[in-house]
Structure 1
């Protein structure tokens, strides 16, 4: 029994506690304290601090506590912001309405606020304000318009004012005091304090105060004094208002309305001040209305039909009106109202704006073009000016045609025009036709509709060539190799000794505009031809060819350059190859495959192909013990690696490791021949293979000087199964002469270059693009093409095609040795 009691004891106690607390369920306090006045202010600023003041909050919980937060940034608007971003001045304290903030930096503006919380932790934040530390002797600056009165009654009226500003105290912390007097003797701070009756006490951040307890039918003068945290004070201008019920509208002044400063876009309305039996003349408020129709004769009509110019303002007798239309009649009037809201209207008048007939002056220099592509270009011009309208209000449109036209506004508008747009100096034209000359001009129009025309000019859109890449007088001899960097710059290698008039031996880097990149330092360059280039993943450049020195240093047929063109001394190739290197491939491991006419590398027998470590030393494990390529010629012209790591080689060789493989072979990743592929290729190719490229379906495209594969006619190009060696697509009427190079685009189409002048019966001088099924892509039209052999084609990251070769002209344009084409 005792054990049972002990077991039940916790539950009995819990039940008892819950029963006792039932009366509190539903009475949890989640309401934050209420601020009757949310604005706070500072006083007694010094070099190291100031005192913050506030009005006590209210809450059902009487134990309210307050804490001041401050920050040098305006980031303490909410409770969370204050707690996260602010610095607390002391701790939460009950019953206080001010707090000294000390330890601050002299001359620094601080934002400050107050958080109030009840005993349940509910919190409210006051409206933040700001204060600058340091000695302050400058009074606030009174804003204009100054003070006005409204809502007059038999016992008072409301005084309104525009907030002042201060160099040290934040606007919300400036305090205002209203004074009244039955005599006009409160025009200075001293006079107001001596002669005036204060109302309401100094209040932070207010802009109006209801003044009560006044005598009926009495004229009162009123003003406002504003003071900052350092007690520097300034006084607003004095107004006057008569108490009592006021139903009498102001009396408009005479003479009435006149217009001045009339221009094509505006005018100034002038009037004589009105008078009122209750509101002082300086406190009467005026509002101008305009209309292009005669429908603003009464207050109601003006408010219903007119366009208000600005808002009611006191103490004014003129108003400038802008943004009007040229040579247009405007009706104008003025409504005047007193503090009680009684309104009168001046007799309307009318004025016609000036007739602007002066056309804008076009800017100089006039028209240029940029960003030229096959289908568009951008027209640029200098902004025009006008004698009446601001430059940023002028409108422009481009008008263009494929034929020249008379350079006048009327004729230009009959052409294709882009439509007027405001404040512009450039316009892109799209949807144009490739290789077409466009004549264009720009029309400019001012707000009066006057138009001018810029001097017409013309520009030809890009055809097959990228016009921005200007290789006009480029290489002075053959370009055998091209490599395109990721930034669009192009490295070329060959037998040239000069590029665009600058001596540079057999290798150069070209900027995206076709100019020579002089930051690529090659010194004396190579002593003989460069045949192959490969940009490594680290940006360094492998170079193969028939050379034996680079910039005076022995580098037999192979070297590596840094990205700036200097020789990479970490690439230690020793005696290197003993003959030409014509093929390069970097493996994912960083190792390098090389192919060519060599028989040894660093003195070790490696006919036709070898694998190197990344530092240029020989990897002897590759085809260890094999005899490599053989035949009358052992040259390897190209190397391609499949996704499974196996290696394809093509060239002039007729055997590999003693086995007959006519001009193409497949090797394992370690250089052993693939017997299945060897069997599959049968008699192979009957003549030279120059290039092998991977297709997206895993097969390969092979190009060269052959006319048959495995005994089947295939004119210089064949699609072959990379696994079995089977012929997938034969080209019985392919190219009429040698294809030297091929490059596969991202869409699977293949660009070919070589010696041919015809492809499948269609004229194509030395460059063409073929579809994935081997047919000619007629959308790629190189015009007259190259005037001599194209020896290398490459696709850049931007999809553009770069071709190098023996040519001097491309499509009848001077493009010596290298050209960049649209794809």
Structure 2
């Protein structure tokens, strides 16, 4: 009984305490907030469904009339003029310099997203290109041969779903219209990544990158040649046989015997010579004379990120080799990273990247030119060079200019925000002026046969105009009128190829790591654009 009594007393005391001490809550976090606005875009398409700058478009949206004095309207983040509002629509005018993008309405600080409005202009995705879902990983190089064959190289293992029936690894042939070509002799393709391709004098394809094997042959040193059918040229090579098995007296090896111990960024074929640049510190080849079937020896030779090879892969020791030292070795090269290079028709080589010196003796602020014999070219009038890294360099035969892009703001003491045009002697083209990038920088630029310059990168604005990742400018640096209508490019462009489509329109095919462009996903790292006159 006493236990029950104490329990009843405790319960009564708790009840009394609870009644006399109400819980205290903090202030209502939602008090004073704005009342929700009942604005809704309907699923009906705008009228017209696409428009030019200056054109009037009707958007289907409900609930605006009572907020007509509080509305701000934007097309691709550019405020647009509103000409009419009703209970079911808003009519606006497409602003000048507007490109494809989403529309939105802001009412008293609340944002309501609407549809994407395509802007009509002279640049568009080519609907005749038949790449489908494209490649499932990056494409670093695209090559059109003298016989109009198109090859792509990269890190991909599928192209438009064809891996189900054809082995695809790092290399594929496509038609000029983007379709996968079957029946090639690539075998198992490459083990690794192709970053560079070029055609040789005998119509073979020189491939380079980070490659340890081609098809079933494991004796590739980051570079080799393949035939135009995709087959690896091989030969039976005598080796040292320490066994009684006669089958181990020879080895099937690539005809091209040479390469590097680290990846190659760029490889050029010119005048029956192969020039390679990259982050490697040694040239290497397979030393078969003392090798056995199970132990392939490698002969290495110090080279500072640059070498010239013979067509069979052997080292040309007359190029970029310091013969004043014993033993002989390659020169030191740049004291940093080479990102890109251009080989001139006269054999001179321009290197760009992130470095400050060449061969420890010459000042070279992120750009340097070498003579045809591999020595420093003091005649290249770079002055103080770039004050930041250079990511890409392209040469235009049309204007005989070099286009450099990267993370610099000055070139030879002159303003050059992320981009500059250089004359053939290295001096800056003062007729061109970058008007400034925001929210990122350019990383690839190429001049087209119509004279315009296509620029891609991570930027969000150019000259304070919204241009997200891709733009076309003229040779003075101004945005090309009517060519900047496309929407955002997300990704990196590594290479391009000009041509024409079946309608006779000028095209440029872009390859790289492309996540989306102009509101389209699943492009498969390749997209072809049309340029209309």
TM-score by length of 1: 0.41
Select 2:321's aligned residue among 624, 644, 660. Answer: 624
Instruction: State whether residues 547 and 556 of structure 1, in contact with CA within 8 Å, keep that contact through their aligned partners in structure 2.
Output: yes
Other-structure match for 2:529: 821
CA change 1:512–1:712 in 2 (3 A) is same
User: What whole-Å deviation, never above 9, does each CA across 1:350-376 have from its counterpart, x for those lacking one?
Assistant: xxxxxxxxxxxxxxxxxxxxxxxxxxx
Q: How does 1:277-296 map to 2 (within 5 A)?
A: none
Select 1:703's aligned residue among 405, 420, 425. Answer: 405
Greater C-alpha radius of gyration: 1
Cα deviation for residue 537 of structure 1 reads 4.6
**Does residue 1:752 correspond to 2:462, yes or no?**
no
Select 1:795's aligned residue among 470, 476, 498. Answer: 498
Instruction: State whether residues 437 and 460 of structure 2, in contact with CA within 8 Å, keep that contact through their aligned partners in structure 1.
Output: no
Cα deviation for residue 489 of structure 1 reads 4.7
How many pairs align? 360
**Does residue 1:525 correspond to 2:189, yes or no?**
yes
**C-alpha distance in 2 between matches for 1:573 and 1:467:** 41
Cα deviation for residue 475 of structure 1 reads 0.8
Select 1:647's aligned residue among 338, 345, 349. Answer: 349
**Does residue 1:609 correspond to 2:316, yes or no?**
no
Select 1:598's aligned residue among 280, 293, 305. Answer: 280
Select 1:675's aligned residue among 372, 378, 390. Answer: 378
Other-structure match for 1:515: 179
Cα deviation for residue 794 of structure 1 reads 2.6
Cα deviation for residue 574 of structure 1 reads 2.9
Instruction: State whether residues 388 and 406 of structure 2, in contact with CA within 8 Å, keep that contact through their aligned partners in structure 1.
Output: no
User: What whole-Å deviation, never above 9, does each CA across 1:465-490 have from its counterpart, x for those lacking one?
Assistant: 22221223111111222223456553
Unaligned runs of at least 5 residues, structure 2:
1-119, 236-253, 285-299, 323-329
**C-alpha distance in 1 between matches for 2:429 and 2:363:** 18
Instruction: State whether residues 420 and 428 of structure 2, in contact with CA within 8 Å, keep that contact through their aligned partners in structure 1.
Output: no
**C-alpha distance in 2 between matches for 1:811 and 1:684:** 32
CA change 1:480–1:680 in 2 (3 A) is closer
CA change 1:680–1:575 in 2 (3 A) is closer
Other-structure match for 1:484: 144
**C-alpha distance in 2 between matches for 1:511 and 1:696:** 26
Cα deviation for residue 802 of structure 1 reads 1.0
**C-alpha distance in 2 between matches for 1:759 and 1:802:** 23
CA change 1:802–1:486 in 2 (3 A) is farther
Cα deviation for residue 725 of structure 1 reads 3.5
CA change 1:550–1:469 in 2 (3 A) is same
Other-structure match for 1:568: 233
Instruction: State whether residues 649 and 666 of structure 1, in contact with CA within 8 Å, keep that contact through their aligned partners in structure 2.
Output: yes
Other-structure match for 1:807: 514
Instruction: State whether residues 702 and 719 of structure 1, in contact with CA within 8 Å, keep that contact through their aligned partners in structure 2.
Output: yes
CA change 1:653–1:580 in 2 (3 A) is farther
Q: How does 1:147-296 map to 2 (within 5 A)?
A: none
Other-structure match for 1:297: none
CA change 1:573–1:684 in 2 (3 A) is farther
Instruction: State whether residues 222 and 263 of structure 2, in contact with CA within 8 Å, keep that contact through their aligned partners in structure 1.
Output: yes
Structural RMSD (CA): 2.8
Which SS does the other structure have where 2:379 is aligned?
helix
Other-structure match for 2:27: none
Which SS does the other structure have where 1:753 is aligned?
strand
Cα deviation for residue 580 of structure 1 reads 1.2
CA change 1:629–1:476 in 2 (3 A) is same
**C-alpha distance in 1 between matches for 2:180 and 2:121:** 24
Cα deviation for residue 493 of structure 1 reads 1.6
Cα deviation for residue 656 of structure 1 reads 1.7
Unaligned runs of at least 5 residues, structure 1:
1-459
CA change 1:628–1:759 in 2 (3 A) is farther
Select 2:220's aligned residue among 555, 571, 582. Answer: 555
Instruction: State whether residues 695 and 748 of structure 1, in contact with CA within 8 Å, keep that contact through their aligned partners in structure 2.
Output: no
Which SS does the other structure have where 2:495 is aligned?
strand
Select 2:434's aligned residue among 710, 714, 731. Answer: 731
Which SS does the other structure have where 2:355 is aligned?
coil
TM-score by length of 2: 0.62
**Does residue 1:586 correspond to 2:251, yes or no?**
no
**C-alpha distance in 2 between matches for 1:489 and 1:810:** 26
- Higher deviation after alignment, 651-660 or 793-802: 793-802
CA change 1:735–1:822 in 2 (3 A) is farther
Q: How does 1:158-557 map to 2 (within 5 A)?
A: 464-486=124-146, 489-503=149-163, 504-553=168-217, 554-557=219-222
Q: Which has the higher contact order (CA 8 A, sep 6+)?
A: 2
Instruction: State whether residues 636 and 653 of structure 1, in contact with CA within 8 Å, keep that contact through their aligned partners in structure 2.
Output: no
Instruction: State whether residues 341 and 349 of structure 2, in contact with CA within 8 Å, keep that contact through their aligned partners in structure 1.
Output: no
Instruction: State whether residues 714 and 730 of structure 1, in contact with CA within 8 Å, keep that contact through their aligned partners in structure 2.
Output: yes
Which SS does the other structure have where 1:740 is aligned?
strand
CA change 1:476–1:487 in 2 (3 A) is same
Instruction: State whether residues 141 and 194 of structure 2, in contact with CA within 8 Å, keep that contact through their aligned partners in structure 1.
Output: yes
Select 1:778's aligned residue among 432, 456, 481. Answer: 481
**C-alpha distance in 1 between matches for 2:437 and 2:121:** 32
Other-structure match for 1:692: 394
